[in-house]
């Protein structure tokens, strides 16, 4: 039974993936070439449309699964795969019609599979003509046996923003389920992606002998920082200038373990450390104790959250660590800090400590659990609230709960400021702080206020979001299509209104989850390789 | 023969061979072992004096562990004789031994070093050639101090886990010859063990004294005043009339473990009442029977007072005060002409172990009043008396309960000599059969006897009260209006316990009301008849029989509560299916059918009863415990100064903390409130009372824990002998400390508070704090105070990979 269900999952995953990955078939841009040159098979179907299409309404069992209705694309993005799903098996070939509200002629395409990837010229034409008004994409289903009938039909509208992304995306790929071990570390890859590219983003770091994790860049993209267990120091973190070939050496590393700790506590990892936008400071959870359980579930293979910890900051200039007043209360766990872009504020997640979850606080272990994420969540609930303090050059201040993101019966975490300082987007779920099936993105005014669920949220797991440097776009991860997390991109307007997202299908992989994506203010190719000196 | 056995035997032979080789090496180097007379009439100029220089160091740094029966390796450093006796691997506390052990009571069971050697004690002072070199090389004391010097206490926050400070730590009783092995195995285990070492000056003083041969001068003679007082008392106890002899025996059997203090002698001078082969005026030759009612073995013996020459450690310090008034009281109680003694009872164990038979001629009310006069001492004797720490026996009681007594004038069970005599067969105690393994007799014999006794008592009370009237408040002894022993509180701290006067702490789960037969039986069971060197059977029987007595005391208490609430209240004390079943079998509701005459007006009769008796007892009950029973949470002693009031106000808040959150709080914490003026510094004790679902079983206490019902009690001054932690807090920070304390809810939050305010085993100021508490105790209670034991001083936290350096 289990085997069968696994097969089913794989099948479903494959189908879902195909929506993001398949390339196009026959297409015809009637604006570019006259109708007399139109291939016969397309012409035949187009003619039928004029007589039959009005008799066929939408929702005839055909659903366009991608793009989503209302999706806004960046102007520089490479072509997506348009995919649909027909519940019945009535159709065996499909006509795709892209219509524009302007006088521009439609674009036609014929597919014998349930997806179509426009080629670059076609896609560029679609984008260019969907800036002011959306383009309408309609998919018609036909059956060879009954060539006169339209068996299915559905439409969506997409548009293209004038706002460019103008940034690369740095992200990590890991195999699932995630198991701790050197063997797995070596398989982890880091890629630097360009959304305009039709190629898979190049790998810039791989085959590491140690674990590496969260990373962030300075606002101007000149500095990269990343958690990396250099020389087996789990608190090690490198900060180094961005360059084509980054060779990491001793002087690039700091270690959060240099922050004095009470003897009883385990070594500090520098959990969820964040470099400040200017690159002058870092802030991180220190003195932390975490609960970690690994499971064999492909999608939700770990439950992880700190049960104890305070925030400390680090001065990059004078290489000194300090507790951050206001986020240094040992009666709580304070974690997941985030800088405002002007470095005036730090927002972080706070919860009552949960050290009772550890059998022996002096001997913290990663649990291997034969239980699903929902059962683990029931057994180990934790809810975080978002608090804000002034950074105040390290002097901190009084923590204030953020309205809309605190004391709402949910867990609120991973806050990120919009670059214009107006908004905070955070993740919310019933419990936990990471990898939660029900996690969704919410947006609030930066000083707190009513929380609004974002339109970009997909059905399953939405988190790890990052704003583009110009603030117009936000990317995030989701498992809506596959357990192997994918990266999505949503447009955010000046009112904080987001759009149904774009799936960055070329960033996806059948065997790797794409996670911790971060926008970086550099062009493609700015980093070609990152490696540890002396290591291949 | 199996291969493993062969290997084992070979290993033993090799080990024995190594040891023999090392001894031979010592013989060659330092000469053979022989008796050493270290006595000198006086020291030469420049020499170190034991009494003036060495003993004060031993007292403050060594006796905090090496005192009483639980001194590691039985090495008692509380006096020169203990040092000279040395150590042994034999355990005093051994709940599993099949045969009773020969007692090893210092000053009692051997009279010379040779005798101790024959009993298996090895020297810790040099007994080879008396050369400066050998005096150090052959002295375990020197070697242990030297080891600590070479490997001082780690300067880390957490004491390395390689230090075993558990109660069941394996003994490592090394000799000088085998010390090299010990040193190799345990480089950090020099003395003082798991505590900071001596200062250079202290170290040098002791080493110099050892180097000069451990010389000792005679003790100063007893003062003339002491001689005079003792002569008067010895004359009293050794009166020749049968009545006097019987009375002396009765008093002796109750005071044989007492630290007797004569009011007109210096505060720290104490005596023991002993049986001696020699009469007044001659040196005391103590008769070393195991129990006070054992056959003395001589035709004529004398009751004599023997000065206590050891450092006073609080864990076995049971003070009994004597003065002129006390002698008058004895005469008034026992030596009136209203009864006669025509024959002296025997010392046959069967009869002698039953005080109701032995002392049947003495009026019951006199005996009861004698016990009540110093009830705290009697109850304290149960707890500290012969054992200084309990074993399985202590889990027979709850961690916190109140005790009241039946009024001797009103309670006929306590004052009817004839009735008590008539039921004395039922009141036999297990000690009458000496150490044996017939544990089943507890149920076959003693339980049946107990049942018969309770039936007889019930029948008698029914006859006396045909109208079936129950107890009213006047049945509680009010201390005759002035005796502050009327109400007592017991605290159990795992394997030790304390008893204090008054009702201290919040309303406890249970209470006992004790009458004469019960009080006397508890005393004879746990004190006079208890042999700490006895076998497992004896110890188990004592524990099991004590169950019956506890239930009797609890049922007496219930008899004062509303009849319709008794079952419900008692069910709370015996939760758990097995406990309920056992309770039904062993503890039927005998004598609980009569309604109390006390009128209750609240739904919490237990609390109301304690309030009523507190009010009824009046001045003898002492002041109200405003620290623990303050409904508004802001009570102060109006007579206290502003500093004390501030500390009281802040600290009393800790008593509101209870349940699972206090699991990490230590059983006994001593708090030093630093006021800025040393003379005004304050001391408090926080006691953790651990709740149990029931006390019905000897084992599996952890399974019976009811952590949700755990409570804290705050006491001004000191309660307990074995502090588990010290807290030092400036008065200016007292509110902040309490606020942090109230936030404790797990090991980590406790650790955070402890590392800020606690004194650790590795704290450089550990000894300074220990000394302060001792001095404060001496100042507050100059007679009752003693050295606290540090053996149970706990780590603030334990971490297996905590690094350390020295």
In Å, how far is B548's CA from the nearest CA of chain A?
39
In Å, how far is A231's CA from the nearest CA of chain B?
20
- Which of the two residues, B410 and B540, has the higher pLDDT score? B410
- The DSSP code for A498 is B
Residues of B in contact with A361 (CB under 8 A): 746-748
Subunit contact A330:B752, Cβ cutoff 8 A: yes
* Across B256-276, average pLDDT: 97
For B155, nearest residue in chain A (alpha carbons):
A263
Subunit contact B158:A353, Cβ cutoff 8 A: no
pLDDT at B69 over 60: yes
Please check whether residues B666 and B749 belong to one and the same domain.
Answer: yes
pLDDT in tens, B91-118: 888 777 778 889 999 999 999 999 999 9
Residue B443: predicted pLDDT: 66
SS3 A150: strand
How open is the CA angle A48-A51-A55, to the nearest 5 degrees? 110
Residue A23: predicted pLDDT: 33
Class of domain A2-160: mainly beta
Residues of A in contact with B751 (CB under 8 A): 262, 264
Please check whether residues B24 and B44 belong to one and the same domain.
Answer: no
> Which parts of chain A have pLDDT scores under 50?
1-3, 10-25
* Across B242-259, average pLDDT: 97
For A330, nearest residue in chain B (alpha carbons):
B749
Subunit contact A262:B749, Cβ cutoff 8 A: no
- Closest residue by Cα to residue B492 from B558, B396, B403: B396
Subunit contact B755:A308, Cβ cutoff 8 A: no
Residue B292: predicted pLDDT: 96
For A262, nearest residue in chain B (alpha carbons):
B157
Contact yes or no for B234/B304 (Cβ under 8 A): yes
Does B554 reside within a domain?
yes
pLDDT in tens, B362-393: 999 999 999 999 999 999 998 876 665 665 56
Does B148 reside within a domain?
yes
A263 close contact with B: CB closer than 8 A: yes
A361 close contact with B: CB closer than 8 A: yes
Residue B583: predicted pLDDT: 66
Please check whether residues B603 and B727 belong to one and the same domain.
Answer: no
Please check whether residues B18 and B74 belong to one and the same domain.
Answer: no
**Residue ranges per domain, chain A?**
2-160, 168-532
Subunit contact B747:A355, Cβ cutoff 8 A: yes
Residue B446: predicted pLDDT: 79
A359 close contact with B: CB closer than 8 A: no
In Å, how far is A2's CA from the nearest CA of chain B?
40
The percentage of chain B sitting over the pLDDT mark of 90, rounded to a whole number, equals: 71
Number of domains, chain B: 5
Subunit contact A262:B799, Cβ cutoff 8 A: no
The contacts of residue B118 (CB under 8 Å, 6+ apart) are none
In Å, how far is A330's CA from the nearest CA of chain B?
8
In Å, how far is B738's CA from the nearest CA of chain A?
14
Is residue B758 within a helix (H) or strand (E), and if so which, with residue range? strand B758-759
A window 276-335, beta carbon within 8 A of B: 289, 308, 330-331
Pairing of strands A281-294, A367-368: parallel
Residue A22: predicted pLDDT: 33
- CA dist B390 and B722 (Å) reads 12
For A308, nearest residue in chain B (alpha carbons):
B748
A43: tokens are 């012409």
Helices (H), ranges, A135-257:
182-187
Domain that residue B506 falls in? 388-622
For A356, nearest residue in chain B (alpha carbons):
B746
In Å, how far is A325's CA from the nearest CA of chain B?
17
pLDDT in tens, B718-750: 999 999 999 999 999 999 999 999 999 888 899
Please check whether residues B407 and B551 belong to one and the same domain.
Answer: yes
- CA dist B472 and A132 (Å) reads 97
For A90-148, strand residue ranges (E) read 93-100, 107-111, 115-116, 135-142
Subunit contact A264:B748, Cβ cutoff 8 A: yes
In Å, how far is B154's CA from the nearest CA of chain A?
13
Residue B501: predicted pLDDT: 97
Q: CATH classification of A168-532 is 1.10.1510.10, yes or no?
A: no
Subunit contact B748:A355, Cβ cutoff 8 A: yes
Residue B612: predicted pLDDT: 97
Please check whether residues B393 and B535 belong to one and the same domain.
Answer: yes
Residue B392: predicted pLDDT: 55
Which residues are bridge partners to A292 per DSSP? A304
Whether the bond between B641 and the residue before it is cis, its omega within 30 degrees of 0, is no
Which residues are bridge partners to A466 per DSSP? A475
In Å, how far is B158's CA from the nearest CA of chain A?
7
Please check whether residues B680 and B574 belong to one and the same domain.
Answer: no
Residue A1: predicted pLDDT: 43
Please check whether residues B98 and B195 belong to one and the same domain.
Answer: yes
pLDDT at B213 over 70: yes
Determine phi and psi for A221, rounding to 5 degrees: 75, 15
A217 close contact with B: CB closer than 8 A: no
Please check whether residues B167 and B76 belong to one and the same domain.
Answer: yes
| Long-range interactions of A469-473: CB distance < 8 A, separation 24+ | A469/A166, A469/A167, A469/A219, A469/A221, A469/A419, A469/A519, A469/A521, A470/A163, A470/A164, A470/A165, A470/A166, A470/A167, A470/A419, A471/A418, A471/A419, A471/A420, A472/A161, A472/A163, A472/A164, A472/A165, A473/A74, A473/A163, A473/A165, A473/A519
Residues of A in contact with B799 (CB under 8 A): 263-264, 362
For B159, nearest residue in chain A (alpha carbons):
A263
Subunit contact A289:B748, Cβ cutoff 8 A: yes
Residues of B in contact with A264 (CB under 8 A): 157-158, 748, 751, 797, 799, 802
Average pLDDT score over chain B: 91
Does B380 reside within a domain?
no
Task: Point out the residue among A308, A353, A362 whose CB comes nearest to the CB of B797.
Answer: A362
pLDDT in tens, B150-196: 999 988 889 988 899 988 888 899 999 999 999 999 999 999 999 99
Instruction: Please report the number of interchain residue pairs, chain A to chain B, with beta-carbon separation below 8 angstroms.
Output: 44
Is residue B558 within a helix (H) or strand (E), and if so which, with residue range? helix B536-558
pLDDT in tens, B298-357: 999 999 999 999 999 999 999 999 999 999 999 999 998 889 999 999 999 888 999 999
Chain B residues interacting with chain A (CB cutoff of 8 angstroms): 156-158, 743, 745-749, 751-752, 755, 797-800, 802-803
Subunit contact A264:B751, Cβ cutoff 8 A: yes
For B804, nearest residue in chain A (alpha carbons):
A263
Mutate: best of B741, B748, B796, partner A, most A CBs <10 A? B748
Residues of B in contact with A362 (CB under 8 A): 747, 797-800
Q: How far is CA B459 from CA A138, B450, B593, in A?
A: 102, 14, 12
pLDDT in tens, B424-435: 999 998 876 655
* Across B577-581, average pLDDT: 69
Residues of B in contact with A262 (CB under 8 A): 157, 751-752, 755
Subunit contact A355:B156, Cβ cutoff 8 A: no
A362 close contact with B: CB closer than 8 A: yes
* Across B605-621, average pLDDT: 96
In Å, how far is B223's CA from the nearest CA of chain A?
55
Please check whether residues B519 and B588 belong to one and the same domain.
Answer: yes
For A112-149, strand residue ranges (E) read 115-116, 135-142
A13 close contact with B: CB closer than 8 A: no
């Amino acid at each position: 039974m289990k085997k069968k269900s696994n097969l089913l999952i794989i099948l479903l995953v494959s189908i879902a993936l195909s929506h993001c990955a398949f390339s196009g078939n026959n297409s015809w841009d009637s604006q570019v070439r006259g109708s007399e040159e139109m291939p016969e098979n397309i012409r035949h179907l187009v003619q039928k449309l004029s007589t039959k299409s009005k008799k066929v309404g939408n929702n005839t069992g055909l659903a366009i699964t991608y793009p989503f209705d209302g999706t806004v694309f960046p102007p520089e993005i490479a072509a997506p795969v348009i995919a649909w799903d027909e519940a019945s098996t009535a159709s065996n070939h499909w006509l795709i019609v892209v219509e524009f509200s302007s006088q521009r002629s439609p674009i036609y395409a014929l597919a014998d599979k349930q997806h179509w990837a426009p080629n670059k010229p076609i896609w560029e034409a679609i984008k260019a003509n969907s800036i002011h008004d959306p383009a309408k994409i309609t998919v018609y289903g036909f059956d060879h046996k009954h060539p006169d009938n339209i068996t299915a039909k559905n439409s969506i509208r997409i548009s293209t923003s004038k706002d460019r992304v103008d940034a690369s995306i740095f992200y990590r790929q890991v195999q699932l389920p995630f198991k701790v071990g050197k063997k797995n570390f070596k398989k982890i890859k880091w890629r630097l992606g360009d959304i305009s590219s039709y190629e898979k983003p190049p790998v810039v770091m791989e085959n590491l002998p140690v674990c590496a994790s969260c990373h962030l860049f300075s606002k101007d993209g000149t500095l990269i920082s990343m958690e990396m267990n250099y020389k087996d120091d789990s608190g090690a973190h490198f900060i180094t200038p961005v360059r084509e070939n980054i060779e990491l050496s001793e002087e690039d590393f700091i270690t959060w373990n240099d922050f004095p700790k009470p003897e009883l506590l385990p070594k500090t990892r520098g959990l969820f450390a964040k470099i400040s936008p200017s690159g002058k400071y870092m802030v991180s959870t220190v003195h932390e104790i975490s609960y970690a359980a690994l499971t064999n579930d492909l999608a939700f293979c770990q439950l992880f959250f700190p049960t104890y910890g305070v925030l400390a900051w680090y001065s990059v200039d004078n290489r000194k660590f300090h507790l951050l007043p206001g986020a240094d209360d040992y009666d709580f766990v304070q974690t997941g800090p985030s800088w405002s872009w002007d470095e005036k504020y730090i927002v972080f997640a706070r919860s009552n400590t949960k050290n009772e979850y550890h059998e022996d606080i002096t001997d913290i272990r990663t649990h291997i659990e034969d239980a699903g994420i929902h059962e683990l969540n029931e057994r180990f609930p934790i809810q975080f609230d978002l608090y804000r303090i002034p950074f105040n050059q390290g002097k901190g201040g009084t923590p204030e709960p953020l309205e809309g993101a605190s004391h709402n019966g949910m867990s609120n975490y991973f806050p990120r400021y919009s670059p214009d300082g107006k908004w905070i987007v955070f993740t919310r779920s019933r419990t936990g702080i990471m990898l939660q099936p029900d996690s969704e993105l919410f947006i609030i005014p930066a000083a707190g206020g009513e929380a609004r669920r974002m339109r970009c949220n997909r059905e399953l797991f939405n988190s790890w979001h990052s704003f583009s440097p110009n603030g117009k776009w936000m990317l995030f991860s989701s498992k809506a299509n596959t357990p192997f997390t994918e990266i999505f991109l949503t447009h955010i307007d000046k009112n904080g209104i987001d759009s149904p997202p774009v799936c960055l299908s070329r960033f996806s992989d059948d065997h790797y989850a794409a996670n911790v994506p971060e926008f970086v203010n550099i062009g493609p190719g700015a980093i070609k390789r990152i490696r540890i000196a002396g290591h291949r | 023969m199996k291969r493993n056995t062969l290997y084992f035997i070979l290993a033993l032979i090799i080990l024995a061979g190594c040891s023999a080789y090392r001894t031979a090496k010592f013989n060659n180097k330092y000469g053979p072992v022989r008796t050493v007379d270290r006595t000198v009439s006086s020291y030469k100029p420049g020499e170190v004096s034991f009494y003036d220089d060495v003993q004060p160091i031993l007292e403050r740094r060594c006796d905090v562990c090496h005192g009483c029966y639980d001194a590691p390796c039985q090495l008692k450093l509380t006096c020169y004789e203990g040092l000279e006796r040395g150590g042994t691997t034999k355990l005093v506390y051994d709940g599993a031994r099949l045969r009773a052990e020969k007692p090893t009571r210092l000053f009692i069971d051997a009279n010379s070093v040779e005798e101790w050697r024959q009993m298996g004690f090895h020297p810790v002072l040099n007994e080879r050639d008396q050369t400066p070199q050998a005096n150090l090389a052959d002295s375990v004391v020197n070697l242990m101090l030297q080891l600590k010097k070479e490997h001082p206490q780690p300067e880390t926050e957490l004491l390395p886990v390689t230090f075993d400070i558990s109660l069941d730590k394996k003994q490592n009783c090394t000799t000088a010859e085998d010390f090299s092995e010990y040193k190799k195995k345990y480089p950090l285990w020099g003395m003082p063990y798991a505590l900071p070492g001596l200062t250079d000056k202290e170290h040098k003083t002791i080493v110099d004294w050892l180097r000069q041969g451990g010389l000792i001068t005679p003790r100063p003679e007893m003062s003339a005043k002491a001689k005079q007082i003792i002569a008067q008392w010895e004359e009293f106890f050794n009166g020749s009339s049968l009545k006097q002899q019987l009375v002396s025996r009765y008093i002796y059997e109750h005071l044989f473990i007492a630290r007797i203090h004569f009011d007109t002698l210096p505060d720290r001078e104490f005596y023991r009442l002993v049986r001696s082969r020699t009469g007044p005026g001659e040196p005391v030759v103590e008769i070393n029977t195991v129990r006070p009612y054992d056959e003395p073995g001589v035709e004529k013996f004398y009751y004599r007072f023997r000065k206590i020459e050891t450092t006073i450690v609080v864990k076995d310090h049971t003070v009994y005060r004597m003065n002129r008034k006390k002698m008058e009281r004895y005469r008034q109680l026992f030596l009136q002409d209203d009864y006669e003694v025509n024959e002296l009872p025997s010392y046959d164990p069967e009869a002698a172990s039953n005080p109701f038979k032995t002392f049947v001629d003495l009026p019951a009310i006199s005996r009861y009043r004698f016990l009540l006069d110093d009830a705290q001492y009697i109850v304290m004797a149960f707890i500290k008396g012969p054992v200084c720490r309990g074993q399985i026996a202590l889990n027979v009681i709850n961690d916190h309960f109140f005790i009241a007594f039946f009024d001797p004038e009103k309670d006929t069970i306590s004052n009817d000599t004839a009735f008590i005599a008539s039921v004395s067969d039922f009141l036999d105690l297990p000690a009458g059969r000496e150490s044996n393994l017939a544990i089943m007799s507890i149920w076959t014999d003693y339980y049946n006897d107990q049942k018969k006794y309770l039936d007889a008592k019930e029948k008698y009370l029914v006859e006396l009260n045909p109208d079936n009237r129950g107890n009213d408040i006047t049945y509680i002894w009010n201390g005759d209006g002035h005796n502050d022993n009327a109400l007592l509180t017991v605290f159990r701290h795992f394997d030790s316990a304390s008893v204090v006067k008054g009702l201290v702490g919040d309303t406890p789960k249970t209470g006992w009301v004790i009458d004469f037969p019960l009080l006397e039986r508890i005393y004879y069971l746990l004190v006079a008849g208890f042999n700490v060197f006895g076998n497992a059977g004896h110890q188990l029987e004592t524990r099991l029989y004590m169950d019956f007595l506890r239930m009797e005391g609890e049922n007496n208490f219930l008899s004062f509560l509303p009849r319709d609430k008794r079952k419900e209240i008692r069910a709370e004390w015996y939760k758990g299916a097995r406990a309920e079943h056992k309770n039904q079998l062993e503890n039927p509701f005998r004598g609980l059918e009569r309604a109390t005459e006390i009128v209750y007006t609240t739904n919490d009769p237990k609390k109301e009863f304690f309030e009523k008796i507190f009010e009824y007892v009046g001045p003898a009950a002492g002041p109200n415990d405003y620290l623990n029973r303050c409904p508004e949470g802001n009570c102060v002693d109006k007579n206290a100064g502003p500093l004390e009031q501030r500390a009281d106000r802040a600290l009393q808040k800790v008593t509101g903390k209870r349940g699972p959150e206090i699991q990490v709080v230590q059983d006994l914490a001593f708090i030093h409130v630093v006021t800025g003026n040393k003379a005004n510094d304050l001391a408090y004790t926080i006691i953790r009372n651990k709740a149990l679902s029931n006390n019905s079983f000897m084992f599996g206490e952890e399974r019976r824990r009811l952590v949700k019902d755990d409570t804290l009690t705050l006491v001004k001054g000191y309660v307990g002998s074995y502090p588990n932690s010290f807290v030092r807090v400036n008065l200016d920070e007292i509110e902040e400390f309490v606020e942090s304390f109230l936030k404790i809810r797990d090991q980590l939050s406790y650790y955070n508070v402890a590392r800020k305010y606690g004194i650790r085993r590795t704290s450089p100021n550990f000894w300074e704090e220990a000394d302060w508490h001792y001095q404060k105790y001496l100042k507050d209670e100059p007679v009752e105070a003693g050295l606290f034991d540090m053996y149970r001083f706990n780590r603030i936290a334990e971490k297996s990979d905590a690094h350390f350096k020295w």
